[in-house]
Every structure is written in structure tokens, then in C-alpha cells.
Structure 1
Amino acid sequence: MRKLFLPLCILLLMSGCKKSELEAVNSSPVVSADKAVAVAEYEMVAPPSTISEKLLPDENKPAQPPLAPKKIDTIAKKIVKNGNMRIQVGDIKKAQTQVGDILKKNNAYIQTEQFQNTDIDDNLDLVIRVPHKNFDALINSFSEGVGSVLSKNISSDDVTEEYTDVSIKLANKKIYLEKYRDMLRSASTTKDMIEIQEIIRELEDEMDVAEARLRFIDDRVNYSTLNLSLHKEKVRSSATSKIGFGSRLADSVTEGWNSFMSFLLGIISFWPFLLLIPILVYLWRKWRAGRRK
């Protein structure tokens, strides 16, 4: 029994040693992986290498978790509506009064106004801004109560993706801005302060541009734009009042005669030079006669 007991104890001791070695080997990669994750997270929030090492966190201190990006609220769809309309009317002034009443009813306003008067027609071009919810009602009112619609073009652009992208970038820049401001308070050298202040200035400029872009998109979404043109043809005073071949032929004959008269009057306007022609002819003949003698 003693001979069997001694080998059995040796086998048990050897198996226990192997098991402890295996556990040590298996546990070591897990620890190193956790350290790698911690280092990676630390590097995500560490300041740029251009800043002095005095501002870097102490390696002996535990790594701080990275700053979580600011949560962006769910953004509603951003739809920009634009339109172009051309309407033929019988009286520009009357149509302009009707347009004014329709604008008041729909809380719209005129951004720009341009009037053009020619021999053939009158044109009043308006750029109208109207609340997004009243855009369709405004279009229907112009189509039904002002005149005959010659052309109409309505477009809708979805800018939700652009708005969301700009909002997320702006939120991240605000986080980094606060981070660099904290670094500026702990800066100990003039060089570090100048470098950090330059980064802060660039971030603030980029944030101003992003905020301006968001305001512009909001304005285009909240107020739609309509380009309205009121057109009135003038009555022709000639016998051939209808615009056709006869009218065009008469106009061509008239234009030809006017062109001929303009040419003739242009020649007459050179009468001082015409007086020189007889003098030049006389001198040339006299010179030729003298040469023969």
C-alpha cells in the first residue's frame, strides 16, 4: 500500500501544477486586452501631440472614459418648397391688388418686386415668401382668382440629411471646445496657451459657419419661396391688330422704310464733307491741265 500511495501523491501534485499554469496562461490575455481597451479609450480623448507634454494626463493615474458625444434629438423632416408661376392678366394694377389680398390672407410677404413696361407687354415679377403650411393654399388662390396660368412649376427638396449631419458635427465641436477650454485653464507656458487659443478660435469659426447654415435651412423650410410673374399683352393700335402674318408683314415694311430713312438722314448729316467734293474735283482737273502743258 505504501508503494502505491507514494506514486499516487506525486501524480496528483503534477496535475495540480499543470492546471495552475494553464489558468495563468488563459488569464493573462484577458488582462492585456482590458489594458489595451483602456489605452485606446484614453487615446481617443487625449489632446493633440502638438501641445506640450505638461498638459497631458499623468500615466500613473487611471484612464478616464472618453467623452460621450452629445445626444441629438430626433430631427423632424426638413422639406424646402419652391415654386414658379406665370399668370396672364387683363389689368396689372387690378391683379396686383388681388395678389396683395391673397398675401395678407396667407401671412405671406413680398421679398422683391420688379416691373417692366415694353411696347408689347407689361410684366410684374414678384418674389414671395410664405409660411410652409400656407404654400399650397397660396398656389391655389393664385391659380383660381388672379388670371390665366401660363406656366407653373413646384419643387420639394428634402434637406433632413444635411441638417442632421451639420447638427451632429456642431454638437461634437461644442464638446471639443469645452475640452480645449479646460486645457487652456491648466496651461503653464505661453507656447501652450497660444496653441490652444488658436485651436479654440478655429473651432469657434467652424461653429459659427455651422450655426449660420442651420439658420439658413430653417428659414428655407419655415418659409417657402414663390416666384410670381404677372404678364399683360398690350392692344396693338394698327389695323392688323391680330398678331399674324399680315401684321408681321406690315411691321416689316414699316421697319424697312424707317431703316431707309435713317440711312438717308445719316448721309445728309455728312453735308460739310460733301461740299469738299467739287473743290477736290476742280483742283484735280487744274493740276491735270497744267501737267499737259
Structure 2
Amino acid sequence: MKSSLSIAVGLAVLLCGCSHAKKESVAVADVAPQYMMSAPAAPPQSSDSDDKEATADVIPGPRPYIESVVAPSRLLIYHADLRLKVASLPRASTRLDSLVHRNGGYLSAATEVRADGEWRQAMTIRVVPSRFEPLMAALGGLGTVEEKKLTTDDVTAQHADVAARLATKRAVEKRYIDLLARARKISEVLEVEGKIGEVREEIESTESRLKTLNDEVAYSTISLTCYQPLPHSVPEAPVVSFASRLVESFYTGWTLITSLLIGMVAIWPFLLLGGVGWWAVRRWRRSIAQA
């Protein structure tokens, strides 16, 4: 009896313990979601390299493109005039094409002429501002620099003014379009359409000016003139025979005689006055001698 009673007591204690443990686990499970919702997770610690990688993942695209999108503080237009004397123009032209393509530029215009003892090429080169100075230094190595002129124009204020006027004209156009939608009379429609046409012309002109400014800022201009001196050919003296020289002398003498005769005829008034004066002086002396 004692053994059976102890077994029964042990089973009862065991069942009570299991039920108590189950209640505790359920309580913990109920509290855990509330705790996780009320307490936010702490941000993970990261090193500088991790921060850079995270920034690179957030901002798409390569870094050079990101830097090019950011507007510069000043908008500058670079222009250069360069004149070079080269020993061989074809060889200089070949090297020039290589230098321009290597620096990311292009030729927008080119002319070639032989005149005034020169074989000359005039070219207009467009290149990005970051390669303007390196390309200028490379071009100076093609020959002897005889003339070099650099100019820089700050168009920041001009660009801002053109952009502001463009935004204003577009707003005016939008207001006219709204008025056109509310117009009821034909005269009102025609008047508003005329105003819209005028504003549209001004918008297109302003857009063209803004596009030109952007192009001049995005690509610098180099006006290059390369020339090669051409040798002057001296004609050989012709061989003159004795008969030719004799005929030429006779012709020269005849020309001299005719020139003298023509000169005497041309000064006949002076000859006449001189003869009259000589006769008058001679008669005056004769009258004095007789007296």
C-alpha cells in the first residue's frame, strides 16, 4: 500500500509540474511578440568601408556620372586661338587627329589652302573643359607656336537669366492655353491664339539660346591654324642670242628718238616763249647800241 501510494503522489506531482511549465511557455510566447513590437531593433554597427558600400548601393550609377550631373558653381566658356608652324603638314595632321580623339574631342570644321607661299590648314576643335589644357599642351608639341591666345567667359549670370526668362514665358504660354479653353467667342479665340503664337516664337528663341550656352559650356573651342612654308621657285634667266640683242638695241634707240620728238612737241609753248624772249632781248640790245 505504501509503495502504491508513493507512486500515485509522484505521478500527481509530475502532472502538476508539466502543466505549470506549459502555462509559463504560453505566457512567454504571448509576451514575446508585444516586446518585439514595442522595442525597436538597434541599428547594426558598421565600419567606414561598410558605409561606403551602402552609399554606393543606395545611389545608382558610376561616380563620374554623379559628379557630372551636379551643376558647377560657375559656368565658364573657354576659347583658344593657336597658330603653329610645322615642318610637314601631312604628318602634323595625322598626329593631330590622334591627339584630338585621345582627349575625347572632335573636329567641327576644317579648311585647307595653298596661298602666299604657305600650305595652310585651319581647324576648329571642340573638347570637354577637363581636357582643354592637356590638349593645348599636346598641340604645342606639333610645331613652333607663333601665336597663342586664351579667353574665358563667365556666363553664369547670363545662363540664369535666360533660364528664368524661359520659365516665365512657359508660364505665360500655359495661362494663354487656359484662357483659350475658356474662350467662347471666335474673336477671343483668334486673339488668344495669336498671343500663343508670339509666346511660342519667343520660347523657341530662348530655348535655342539656352541650348547654345549649354553646348559652349560643355565643349571648349580651339581655333587651330597649322601651316608649312612652301619653297619659292626662281625662274632661270633665258639665253638671249646676239641677233635678239641687236634687234632689241635698235628698238631701244628708235624708242628713245621718238620719245625725244614727242617731248619736244609736248613743250612747244615753252619753245615759242623762249624764241620770242630771245628776239626781244636781241632787239633791245641793238636799240641801245644805235643810241
Q: Normalising by structure 2, what TM-score?
A: 0.54
Q: Which residue does the alignment assign to 1:132?
A: 129
Tell me the distance in 2 between the aligned counterparts of 1:135 and 1:179. Answer: 44
Tell me the distance in 1 between the aligned counterparts of 2:72 and 2:103. Answer: 27
Q: Which residue does the alignment assign to 1:161?
A: 157
Q: Quick check: which has more Rg, 1 or 2?
A: 2
Cα drift, residue 121 of structure 1: 2.2
Cα deviation, 1:151-202, whole Å, max 9, x if unaligned, reads 1001011111111111111111111221121111111111111111111111
Q: Which residue does the alignment assign to 2:119?
A: 122
Matched to 2:125, the amino acid is: I
Tell me the distance in 2 between the aligned counterparts of 1:208 and 1:75. Answer: 25
Q: Is it true that 1:103 corresponds to 2:85 in the alignment?
A: no
Q: Is it true that 1:92 corresponds to 2:89 in the alignment?
A: yes
Q: Is it true that 1:77 corresponds to 2:74 in the alignment?
A: yes
The alpha-carbon distance between structure 1 residues 119 and 169, as it changes in their structure 2 partners (threshold 3 A), is closer
The alpha-carbon distance between structure 1 residues 193 and 230, as it changes in their structure 2 partners (threshold 3 A), is same
Tell me the distance in 1 between the aligned counterparts of 2:221 and 2:195. Answer: 39
Tell me the distance in 1 between the aligned counterparts of 2:113 and 2:221. Answer: 21
Tell me the distance in 2 between the aligned counterparts of 1:237 and 1:166. Answer: 57
Q: Is it true that 1:199 corresponds to 2:201 in the alignment?
A: no
Matched to 1:100, the amino acid is: D
Cα drift, residue 119 of structure 1: 6.2
Cα drift, residue 232 of structure 1: 1.4
Please provide the CA RMSD for this pair: 2.4
5+ residue gaps, structure 1, are: 1-72, 239-250, 255-263, 265-293
Q: Is it true that 1:176 corresponds to 2:166 in the alignment?
A: no
The alpha-carbon distance between structure 1 residues 75 and 204, as it changes in their structure 2 partners (threshold 3 A), is farther
The equivalences for 1:19-58 within 5 A come to: none
Q: Normalising by structure 1, what TM-score?
A: 0.54
Cα deviation, 1:110-147, whole Å, max 9, x if unaligned, reads 1111112236221111111112221111101111x211
Cα drift, residue 210 of structure 1: 0.5
Cα drift, residue 206 of structure 1: 0.7
Cα drift, residue 237 of structure 1: 5.3
Matched to 2:134, the amino acid is: A
The alpha-carbon distance between structure 1 residues 105 and 75, as it changes in their structure 2 partners (threshold 3 A), is closer
Tell me the distance in 1 between the aligned counterparts of 2:80 and 2:72. Answer: 25
| Matched position secondary structure for 2:104 | coil
| Matched position secondary structure for 1:83 | strand
Please say if residues 103 and 138 of structure 1, whose CA atoms lie closer than 8 Å, have aligned partners that are also in contact. Answer: yes
5+ residue gaps, structure 2, are: 1-69, 238-247, 249-291
Cα drift, residue 77 of structure 1: 2.0
Q: Which residue does the alignment assign to 1:220?
A: 216
